A and B are shown apart, each in its own frame.
Chain A
Amino acid sequence: MIDFSAFNDALGIMFTSAGSWGWIVPGLIVGLVFSAIPGISITMAMAIVLPMSLYMDFFSAIVFLTSVYTGAGFGGSVPAILMNIPGSPSSFATTFDGYAMSQKGEHNEALGYALFASTLCGIAGYVLLLLVIEPLADIVLRIGPVEMFAVAIWGMMLLGSLGSAYISRGLLAAALGILLGTVGMNTAGFTRGTLGLPVLLDGIAPIPAMIGLLAASQLLSLASRDYIIEAEGSREVSLRKILKGCWGTMKYPGVLLRGSIIGIIIGAVPGVGSSIGNLIAYAETKRTAKDSATFGKGNPKGVIAAESAVASGEGGSMATMLALGIPGGGATAILIAAFMMHNIVPGPSFIETQKPMVYAIILNNIVQAIVLLAVGIGFIYVASNIMKVRTRYVLPAILVIATLGTFAVTGEAAGPITLFVFALLGYALNRYQYPVSAVVVGILLGRMLETEFLRSYQLSGGNPLYILERPGAMAIFAVMFASLAMTAWGKRKQNRAEAAEALAMEKLRDEAAAHAAHTTPSKG
């Protein structure tokens, strides 16, 4: 729980180092802009500015870097909503409903929903972190391979929500994605599918692959239009509508809460990163929603669920970093390096001896989330103007920027080549109606599925009863199956109710017809 004297000292640090507050806005803008460029991930954005932070004093450097982190968490959803191209893997689930909304002319509202969900849940994540940082850290270390495998399976259940004309093609596409995700050297040191290329030893770079798969099909389908949105009246950029979206977010506290809890827990687990929380939050929200049929067709709840998990995951990831000195994902690995470069080693002893500093960092992140609201509205207002530009100018520009972005990630031609190869694959998949999103989910989760399954097998010595020794894993599976069963039951009830209703309607119609038949002759 909160240590109040340390909390007071933290407020002291916050106000005596007011100069460092000046770094919040530049940090947010850097994060927003970089992560909105397709192909540059949150980690990459932070790696770019890390050397810069060396020349600042400690608190300013941390404020600047965490601001980039906060901004980058939201920035990726802008291209996801406007163009169906996620800026980074963590905004993949935002495309499902965000882009559908923007096609209906509701892009202003969609961005508003995303921004406000991001802000609110970012704050929620950090407030919770303030309360439970130490116990959370201990729980996180106890999460083993079996639990992680359960989480990965949970992520795969998103496939059921993607919807495709043919189930068989959806499963095949997912299998292809998982296979592609396991290319390279696995955790046991075996090398598969690298074609002898040293760059593939670390696996297929997920970001260029994802951009290639999604962007190629998307850009091709956009190329046939004059503007991203065809209806001229819908292309407006309206502050009023953005704010309306922001306000509308408050109507879904349940979605926000569920997204935040999923985001915090998954964000806190070392090595998972932010790209999985949004998938699980989206799938769970869709499955438990009464109007699940409208998901993927522009339901604001889909946008809110995905964004809330991304934003709150940041708090979870920071908890693991501060309390244990272990990076939850790539972005916190950069933050640890920044700490070390200022002679501070995060970990158990840091939390014991420097609690006020830890609280000050957390408080500052809450401030950043609030500032993000203002900066974010300005950013989406400017970025939305892309709707008014003809696609013949937008598309080549995006293609060039995305190629440069993927080049920046690896610093080698490997990035753009991956992009190109996967663009062709994406085109072929689309042409034959295989769901591209299923391949992306497979690529994002394939490695984790394999690694954790293999480790579970090694740890248990092949004995399936080992799961009985892992109450955590059993709980995750139990919740997952319970949620599945409840949905199935709910669906059945709903179907029955619908069938009953249809029957009643039919009866009514028959009666009306009979009545009409009965009355007609008398008229004539």
Chain B
Amino acid sequence: MTHFTRRDLFKISAGGVAVASGMVAMPSILRAATYPSRPINVIVPFATGGYNDRLSRAFMPYLEQELGQPLVIVNKPGAGTQLGNSYALNQPADGYSILCTSAAPYIPLTVLLQNAPYKVEDFTMINLPSRDYTLAATSSGGPVKTFAEVIEKLKKDPSSLSIGVQPASADYANMVLAFQAAGIDPSKLRIVTYDGGGPARNATAGAQVDVGFVGGEGFLPLKSKIRPLAIFAAEKVDWFPDAPLIGATLKTDFVEGSQRGWAVSTKLTKEQPEIYKILVAAVEKASKNPKAIETLKLQELATTWYGPEASNKAYLDNAAKMAKYVDLLK
């Protein structure tokens, strides 16, 4: 038996690719002057039809217009974005591969829980327009009316209500943090686990579980079937204004939910800063294009321009908080 694991081999081969691409690398200024001269791949680490896939396809014509080259969408689903992320990092850092992904919480989660062969800092954000927050909700016909009522009932008897949630997610961390803050032992709760936001939402809307903790944005088509109890956001959320903020009922720390949008490998920003600048400028212009804003709004997709600085800060803050609460996720 050799002591090589598959991951070691992977690292070695990834290193090999890096060396090879370094050898063929042209001076960066020369590259930037001609960039982009051929179609650009947009790597989406999800299957066709998910939020990121729809976002990339809807935004594509406007970004193409700014870059002057066609975009090609490459779906690489699997292992909670780990396969797509690894694939993206294995591409040469030449600006011809960009990511459209749910950076948070998936990149930190794959690093913290799946030992993914990359670091959170290996990715740099261009813009993360879509921000989602954990929503605690109940079926619209259910007996519970407010989050305070949930806490009161669970304090009396922790098994009186069933809780639906996706394990190892920001929603799970928020659920545990909230109940700990309220003085309820989470290990005594009746927690039902779902392997995705969709099934957890269906279970909430269909009253399979009494309270569901799950990303709020996905609830929008089912809005009439649920009653929002608390949203884990600091300020009023413009796409769900009638959801009460968690701060109104309970003083608790929380993790922000999904942050979705455009990213590149950090290697690109270091080796080809000019190309990174071109990409940032193109995404900014496309995001501010009134036609793009109108079209994407109709499809319930976000175009808000936060810019690379704010987006990176939000992403790294989320990753740091995830790392802080990693024990809650396991």
B209 CB-CB contact with A under 8 Å: yes
Beyond A145-B208, A325-B222, A455-B193, whether A199 also contacts B78 by CB under 8 A is yes
Convert A323-354 into 0s and 1s, putting 1 for each residue whose CB lies closer than 8 angstroms to a CB of B: 01111000001101100110101111100000
CB distance from A43 to the nearest CB of B (A): 9
Contact of B83 among A198, A334, A336, A341 (CB under 8 A): A198
Is there an interface contact between A411 and B7, defined as CB atoms closer than 8 Å? Answer: no
Is there an interface contact between A337 and B225, defined as CB atoms closer than 8 Å? Answer: no
Instruction: Pick from B47, B86, B206, B223 the residue with the most CB of A within 10 Å.
Output: B206
Is there an interface contact between B222 and A348, defined as CB atoms closer than 8 Å? Answer: yes
Contact of B202 among A54, A326, A333 (CB under 8 A): A326
**SS class of chain A's interface: helix, strand, loop or mixed?**
helix
List B199-236 residues whose CB lies under 8 Å from chain A: 199, 202-203, 205-209, 220-225
Is there an interface contact between B199 and A324, defined as CB atoms closer than 8 Å? Answer: no
Cα A54 to Cα B299 with chains together (Å): 13
Write the chain A residue with the least CB distance to B191. A458
Contact of A348 among B167, B194, B224 (CB under 8 A): B224
Beyond A198-B82, A270-B202, A340-B54, whether A333 also contacts B6 by CB under 8 A is no
With a CB–CB cut-off of 8 A, which chain A residues contact B119? none
Is there an interface contact between A341 and B79, defined as CB atoms closer than 8 Å? Answer: no
Write the chain B residue with the least CB distance to A196. B6
A483 CB-CB contact with B under 8 Å: no
With a CB–CB cut-off of 8 A, which chain A residues contact B91? none
With a CB–CB cut-off of 8 A, which chain A residues contact B191? 458
List A309-331 residues whose CB lies under 8 Å from chain B: 324-327
Convert B1-42 into 0s and 1s, putting 1 for each residue whose CB lies closer than 8 angstroms to a CB of A: 000011100000000000000000000000000000000000
Convert A175-186 into 0s and 1s, putting 1 for each residue whose CB lies closer than 8 angstroms to a CB of B: 000000000011
Write the chain B residue with the least CB distance to A270. B202
Is there an interface contact between A334 and B167, defined as CB atoms closer than 8 Å? Answer: no
Convert A124-143 into 0s and 1s, putting 1 for each residue whose CB lies closer than 8 angstroms to a CB of B: 00000000000000001111
Write the chain B residue with the least CB distance to A336. B49
Contact of B195 among A186, A326, A340 (CB under 8 A): A186
With a CB–CB cut-off of 8 A, which chain B residues contact A189? 167-168, 193
Cα A105 to Cα B149 with chains together (Å): 69
Cα A143 to Cα B159 with chains together (Å): 22
B176 CB-CB contact with A under 8 Å: no
Is there an interface contact between B221 and A347, defined as CB atoms closer than 8 Å? Answer: yes
Convert B55-71 into 0s and 1s, putting 1 for each residue whose CB lies closer than 8 angstroms to a CB of A: 00110000000000000
Write the chain B residue with the least CB distance to A186. B195
A144 CB-CB contact with B under 8 Å: yes
With a CB–CB cut-off of 8 A, which chain A residues contact B190? 458-459, 461
With a CB–CB cut-off of 8 A, which chain B residues contact A50? 48-49
Write the chain B residue with the least CB distance to A352. B224
CB distance from A454 to the nearest CB of B (A): 7
With a CB–CB cut-off of 8 A, which chain A residues contact B131? none
Write the chain A residue with the least CB distance to B301. A340
B114 CB-CB contact with A under 8 Å: yes
Is there an interface contact between B49 and A202, defined as CB atoms closer than 8 Å? Answer: no
With a CB–CB cut-off of 8 A, which chain B residues contact A196? 5-7
Cα A197 to Cα B86 with chains together (Å): 13
A12 CB-CB contact with B under 8 Å: no
Is there an interface contact between B75 and A411, defined as CB atoms closer than 8 Å? Answer: yes
B249 CB-CB contact with A under 8 Å: no
With a CB–CB cut-off of 8 A, which chain B residues contact A401? none
Cα A326 to Cα B225 with chains together (Å): 13
Convert A449-462 into 0s and 1s, putting 1 for each residue whose CB lies closer than 8 angstroms to a CB of B: 00100110011010
A370 CB-CB contact with B under 8 Å: no
Is there an interface contact between A199 and B83, defined as CB atoms closer than 8 Å? Answer: yes
With a CB–CB cut-off of 8 A, which chain A residues contact B199? 270-271
With a CB–CB cut-off of 8 A, which chain A residues contact B150? none
B300 CB-CB contact with A under 8 Å: yes
Write the chain A residue with the least CB distance to B209. A459
Is there an interface contact between A201 and B168, defined as CB atoms closer than 8 Å? Answer: no
Write the chain A residue with the least CB distance to B188. A461
Is there an interface contact between A201 and B203, defined as CB atoms closer than 8 Å? Answer: no
Q: How large is the interface on A (under 10, 10 to 19, 20 to 34, 35 or more residues)?
A: 35 or more
Cα A343 to Cα B225 with chains together (Å): 21
CB distance from A460 to the nearest CB of B (A): 8
Contact of B86 among A145, A188, A198, A411 (CB under 8 A): A198
CB distance from A2 to the nearest CB of B (A): 22
CB distance from B195 to the nearest CB of A (A): 4
Is there an interface contact between B162 and A459, defined as CB atoms closer than 8 Å? Answer: yes
A471 CB-CB contact with B under 8 Å: no
Is there an interface contact between A333 and B225, defined as CB atoms closer than 8 Å? Answer: no
Convert B295-311 into 0s and 1s, putting 1 for each residue whose CB lies closer than 8 angstroms to a CB of A: 10011100000000000
Is there an interface contact between A341 and B75, defined as CB atoms closer than 8 Å? Answer: no
Contact of B49 among A324, A334, A410, A461 (CB under 8 A): A334
Cα A185 to Cα B195 with chains together (Å): 9
Beyond A201-B114, A202-B79, A454-B193, whether A325 also contacts B221 by CB under 8 A is yes
Is there an interface contact between A187 and B221, defined as CB atoms closer than 8 Å? Answer: no
With a CB–CB cut-off of 8 A, which chain B residues contact A270? 198-199, 202
Is there an interface contact between B195 and A187, defined as CB atoms closer than 8 Å? Answer: yes
A51 CB-CB contact with B under 8 Å: yes
Is there an interface contact between B299 and A188, defined as CB atoms closer than 8 Å? Answer: no
List A67-106 residues whose CB lies under 8 Å from chain B: none
List A182-226 residues whose CB lies under 8 Å from chain B: 185-189, 196-199, 201-202
CB distance from A381 to the nearest CB of B (A): 33
B260 CB-CB contact with A under 8 Å: no
A377 CB-CB contact with B under 8 Å: no
28 A-B pairs with C-beta separation under 8 A:
A47-B47, A47-B49, A143-B206, A145-B192, A187-B167, A197-B6, A199-B83, A201-B80, A202-B78, A202-B79, A271-B199, A325-B221, A325-B222, A326-B222, A336-B49, A337-B48, A337-B49, A337-B53, A340-B299, A341-B54, A348-B222, A349-B221, A411-B76, A412-B83, A451-B195, A455-B192, A458-B191, A459-B209
Shortest 8 CB-CB distances between A and B: which pairs?
A: A337-B49, A141-B206, A189-B167, A347-B221, A325-B221, A343-B298, A201-B79, A144-B208
19 new A-B contacts at CB < 8 Å, known A142-B206, A185-B195, A336-B49: A47-B47, A51-B57, A140-B206, A143-B206, A187-B193, A189-B193, A198-B78, A198-B116, A271-B199, A324-B225, A325-B222, A337-B49, A340-B300, A341-B299, A348-B221, A349-B221, A455-B192, A458-B193, A459-B209
